[in-house]
Homo-oligomer: A and B are copies of this chain.
Amino acid sequence: MEQKDGRQRVVVENIYSMLQEGRFPVKRVAGESVEVYADIFADGHDLISSVLMYRHEKQRKWREVRMEELGNDRWKGRFPVAREGLYFYTVSGWIDHARSWLHDIRIKADNGQSIEVEQQMGLLYLEEALNRAIGSYKEELQGYIDLMSEAERQDEIVQALHDERLEELLRRFSERRFPTTYPRFLRVLAERKKALFSAWYELFPRSTSPDPSRPGTLRDVEALLPRIRHLGFDVLYLPPIHPIGHSHRKGKNNSTTALEGDPGSPWAIGNEQGGHKSIDPALGNFEDFTSLINSAKKQDIEIALDIAFQCSPDHPYVKENPQWFKWRPDGSIQYAENPPKKYQDVLPFNFETGDWKNLWKELKSIFDFWIDKGVRIFRVDNPHTKSFPFWEWIMKELKSKHNDIIFLAEAFTRPRIMQRLACLTFTQSYTYYTWRNNKWEIKEYVEELTKTEMKEYFRPSFWPNTPDINPWKLQKPNEAAYMMQLFMAATLSSNYGVYGPVYEFMQAAPVEGKEEYLNSEKYEIRHWDWTRETRISELMRDINVIRRNNKALQNTCNIEFCETQNDQLLAYYKWDDIESNRLLMVVNLDKDHPQSGLVRLPLERLHGQHGDKFVMLDLMTGNQYVWESEWNFVLLDPAHYPFHLFRIEKL
């Protein structure tokens, strides 16, 4: 498709969105659409026409939609992505001689200039169009040709020249001479809806036992499914369920020497009982696993597995494939470290091994194995410590076979790296949400995610806590803080998740001075009272129901922050595609004191004007207010509810 004919006068460039020169696809979910922008122009004064061409990977035929000029040589088109899978698209533009002719002859006719010769030229364009037209369009065009051929009907001709229908017929059927097509097929990855809208609950299977005298099992997890469902979550995410290494096993509170009975970290994967394709016998067997998967499916919950590409020193890989690890001069294998920290119970793979091709294949086979067992969602541990070419390859391989797999990238690292992983088609990404505290930080961060090019490929998942992060603000069991953090995660981002039991029960005593947990479940078995429901549990249930019933909360990028006259009040407006579901969230960021002030309704967004009245129904409390002006008073008491979630109806 490279430009070859010197008569291709049209330039097509600056396509938006194009990630890294088209190397990466933009992301959508099936049912959404893609807006495409391009600079399209040519020398001279001739008119240009342009189309956006697209097709699903399984379709042969290109479809077209017309692009419209926005001014200043910028054009825009939009096409729907109805199905899951890859779409290709590109943009084509050409000098539209027929429409240029029409444009000129109209002006000449209006200026009373002779148009005799122009009429003859026009007949040529009309004949060309006639040859390309189909069905009843042919008759319409023939009508214009007949008229234009009769010199004596000059007044009628001049009138007909101004028909919009004539222009439309020419647009549609006139010949495309020397079109310039952007020399690249750009891509859209359309995924299933859960890629964009999901609520995750994380728990450690070994801590699910109802009986304090024994550890939990996969069967115990299965028994908890109704509870998870009751809370409204649709993804249940389990840390690694594989056999755990013995060598250098970590003891309670990350001590370097494990005591008898210490279970070790689930991320120290592999021992003599197996590795990444095995289940820790203490948790159960494959029959239990299958039962869990099936039972979850029946309750509209999906099980997400943790994929951590690393090994305990006892992993079978170490003996079978020593070449996949980095050996030190003293004959030991390099364990994970980030000096001065050491993780002797974990051996990273060496992605620079000469045997990298076999390493890649084997790691891919781990995904294949669990996909085969019915898993469709994976949370990938530390993807930023494995090489990018590896992820690029594995994502392509897996997605070409399965278009329903969801990958959550657990990369808490520098922006470029998190962005890169998202470009390599990780479906969702952990974010910095956990560390954004005040109004301006939250607004700036959410706008970066939703208003910049990131919105095209980076799908955030907001987690107020994880087993690895015990944020300062949640270390004390302050109900308002827990409610506020959960509320914002679930309403700012359509994907969110919580490290569940710690959150519900507000059991987050820290290691002094660190964002870590005392008695972390990573290193020991905990026993939770799963029969208990807290006010936080209730909020989870309520907010998840509201998310399900309000389309405005099922997308992340449809957000606009609203002005407030109190920096402790954060307000944001969200809406659905057809603007029938419109929500205003107001949060008191001060967990300790009531805060009040004026909040500005986004009147432009609401297509409203001064004087309009709005009914504000708080979906959390059922209270209803009528707002009669642009600025409205709000008071939020953390002792009660630290937020409003208003559904807005015009009165």
- Residue positions of A touching B, CB distance < 8 A: 3, 6-9, 11, 13-14, 20-21, 39, 41-45, 72-73, 95, 103-104, 107-108, 111, 113, 116-117, 120-121, 124, 177-178, 328-330, 332, 337-340, 351-353, 356-357, 360, 384-390, 393, 414-417, 420
Contacts and interface: CB of A to CB of B under 8 A. Distances in A.
15 contacts: A6-B357, A6-B360, A6-B393, A7-B356, A8-B389, A9-B352, A11-B388, A21-B21, A42-B387, A43-B386, A44-B384, A104-B337, A111-B340, A113-B339, A117-B332
Contacts of A9: 351-352, 387-389
Nearest to A44: B385
Contacts of A21: 21
B386 A417 contact: no
Contacts of A104: 337, 339
A72 B415 contact: yes
Given A20-B13, A43-B388, A108-B339, A6 B356 contact: yes
Nearest to A74: B416
A351 B120 contact: no
A162 B414 CA distance: 27
A107 B6 contact: no
Given A329-B120, A389-B8, A414 B351 contact: no
Contacts of A388: 9, 11, 42-43
B177 A417 contact: no
Contact of A107 (B20, B72, B339, B384): B339
Given A120-B329, A121-B329, A357-B6, A43 B11 contact: no
A416 B6 contact: no
Most buried by B among A21, A44, A328: A44
Nearest to A20: B13
A352 B414 contact: no
Contact of A387 (B43, B116, B328, B415): B43
Given A72-B416, A329-B120, A338 B41 contact: no
A340 B113 contact: yes
Contacts of A332: 117
Contacts of A390: 6
